[in-house]
Amino acid sequence: MDSLVIQGGTRLRGSTRINGSKNAALPIMAAAILASGPSTLIDIPNLSDIGHQINLLRELGATCERLADGSLQINVTDESNSHARYDLVRKMRASICTLGPLVAKRGYARISMPGGCAIGDRPVDIHLRGLQALGAKIELNGGDITATAPHLTGTEIFLGGNFGSTVLGTANVMSAATLARGTTVIECAACEPEVVDLANYLNAMGAKITGAGTPRITIEGVKALTGTTHKIIPDRIEAGTFMVAAAITNGEVHLQNVQLDHLMAATDKFRAIGVLVEKDNKDGVSGCIVSSLRRLEATAITTQPHPGFPTDLQAQFMALLCIADGNSIITEKIFPDRFLHVAELSRMGARLHKEGPTVIIEGQKQLIGAPIMASDLRASAALVIAGLAAKGTTTVNRVYHIDRGYERIEQRLNALGAQIQRIDQKELDL
């Protein structure tokens, strides 16, 4: 198992390109199941989660091939197996977004029920409620969910839950409704840019979806969809993570392939604490320049569904606020238990007080390097970011989590001036 060894204290400077969005790519790859003929997906990042989704699609009868230009071609050639096994699903919860496409296209899906994970309980009840409303018969057998429907029928569906809407639930129901008979209206749909990207892909395949990006999505069912070519949107969470890395090191970094309009809540917080964020659309490529020259100020953050502040940047901002001037407060409203980074940041000298879903952060002048343990994808990113600013050496163990969502992160940060070495854990134990 790999560890990242970080020598803190260098300012990040230079330019890097942000990859295509993991969380847009995963449901779009699943939706390729709905089509006849190949889809070519451009800017699919090279991540372990994408590898797991490719393995699952292959098991479900699709060929998946990386073309010379790096795009991914998916073509379903065999519809005989519609069973997503536990050993594939447990590696990546996003495999649940094959459920809607499978039942809509093949009339049957069997998917192992995903378990909880490091960021807390992750139920799928709203996904199931939505598919049931479309007419699918849902059963739970031996830990597997089965969904059966000779055909789906359009209807009105409310997809709200106690923590707002559901991103992958909206993806599942919207994808399934494209092939339903009649019209489906989803109320309280997730408004995340990844849902809009999926709707754009489905529409390019022949679906009739309007309203994606708003809480009401209308889907007029069509008889069939055909494969198409689609470019994945830039990863707003990867962009936000590099922005925090630039800010915490008082650096100046140019990020290419960023859609700042997908990051408005985060940009607002950056500016509120004293980070300069400027749009930079050179040569028709959208991007931004992030710089900070002084000690940052404290702030209050509450995570919310889009367009509110994203839960997927909560841990990274906590690392940043650990060294801000004054006391900050972060409240997590999407995944109230998503705080595994708190104990690890505390090992680096951060002063954090957790009370339920809220953490009070007493800003310190400096963090001190320490051996720490990565627990989930975004917490791992936060710990690497903390290590960039800390005095001395930080060793982040179990970094396989980070490879799920960030491609070659240490190489890309090193190209900006960071000093990070990837080491096999065994070498550290010697």
Judged by beta carbon, residue 57 or residue 168, the one nearer ligand EPZ is 168
**Chain-centre distance of CA 347, in angstroms?**
27
- Give the separation between CA 401 and CA 379, rounded to whole angstroms: 9
Q: Which residues pair with 147 in a beta bridge?
A: 109, 138
Judged by beta carbon, residue 140 or residue 293, the one nearer ligand EPZ is 140
- Give the separation between CA 234 and CA 22, rounded to whole angstroms: 9
* Strands, sheet with 287-291, edge to edge from the N-terminal-most edge strand: 13-17, 252-256, 287-291, 276-279
Residue appearing with tokens 């009401």: 216
Catalytic residue from among 64, 97, 117, 188: 117
Closest CA to 195 of 305, 60, 316: 305
CB of 331 to ligand EPZ, least distance (A): 14
Q: Under the rule (CB under 6 A), what is the footprint of ligand EPZ?
A: 23, 26, 94, 121-127, 161, 163, 166-169, 190, 311-312, 334-335, 377-378, 405
Kindly tell me the burial class for residue 139, based on how many C-beta atoms sit within 10 Å of its own C-beta (0-12, 13-18, 19 or more): exposed
Judged by beta carbon, residue 27 or residue 387, the one nearer ligand EPZ is 27
Q: Which residues pair with 3 in a beta bridge?
A: 423
Maximum CA extent, the chain: 65
Judged by beta carbon, residue 261 or residue 427, the one nearer ligand EPZ is 261
Closest CA to 305 of 186, 168, 211, 178: 168
CB of 199 to ligand EPZ, least distance (A): 15
Active site residue 64: no
- Give the separation between CA 402 and CA 397, rounded to whole angstroms: 11
Q: Supply 75's token pair.
A: 């073509």
Judged by beta carbon, residue 189 or residue 219, the one nearer ligand EPZ is 189
CB of 233 to ligand EPZ, least distance (A): 12
- Give the separation between CA 143 and CA 398, rounded to whole angstroms: 28
CB of 305 to ligand EPZ, least distance (A): 7
CB of 418 to ligand EPZ, least distance (A): 22
Judged by beta carbon, residue 88 or residue 324, the one nearer ligand EPZ is 88
Residue appearing with tokens 């065994």: 426
Exposure string (b/e) for 94-111, b if CB count within 10 Å is 16 or more? bbbbbbbbbbbbbbbbbb
Decide if 306 contacts 192 (C-beta within 8 A): yes
CB of 71 to ligand EPZ, least distance (A): 20
CB of 401 to ligand EPZ, least distance (A): 9
Judged by beta carbon, residue 13 or residue 129, the one nearer ligand EPZ is 129
What is residue 327's three-state secondary structure? Answer: strand
Active site residues: 117
